[in-house]
Amino acid sequence: MTKGLSVTFVGNNVKAVVPKGLIEAVLKIQAEEGVDFERACILAAERIDSGSEKFHKSVRDAVRRRSNSIILSQVNKARVTIKSKGYGNGLAAGRSRGYSEGYERGKGDHQVWYLCNTCDGRLNISPNSAAHKAMIELMKDAGWGHSSCHQ
């Protein structure tokens, strides 16, 4: 294989022999920048002339694109994490709070209780407990009933 660069014209076509290192550098630029081969060659040419303003602008643009890409990637990951964990945590907390508040409100509105005859402390009666059944019998024996039934 010929060392260095050589160009041969064959009819209407051009045959070029390019050093492997140059081709690899152009392909690397193409992959890193996400550009086509022609644009990668232009970028490689600008970067070879490291003293030019085009070189410095090309480097600045590449750094900016990479930085933006990294930042956007991190922002997108954070957004997904916040959305999934935040929603799940918020839903669980809301469900727990709603249950607790509803349970307490229900107890206040519907729980059966009576006061101790010694200390006046509240005694809660559980449904279908012995105390509950005794209270039903006591109220029945005392004549409690619907007002419409006592007319």
Interval 118-138: pLDDT, tens: 999 988 888 889 988 998 899
> Residue 74 — pLDDT band, cuts 50, 70, 90?
confident
Residues 11-64 have pLDDT tens digits of: 888 787 877 888 888 899 999 888 998 888 888 887 776 667 776 777 778 778
Cβ-defined contacts of 136-144 (< 8 Å, 24+) = none
What's the CA gap between 116 and 123, in Å, rounded? 7
pLDDT at 18: 77
Mean pLDDT across the stretch 61-86? 80
Mean pLDDT across the stretch 87-99? 87
Q: Is the pLDDT of residue 80 over 60?
A: yes
User: Can you read off the two tokens belonging to residue 151?
Assistant: 């007319």
Enter the pTM of the model: 0.31
Residues 6+ apart with CB under 8 A from 46: 52, 54, 55, 58
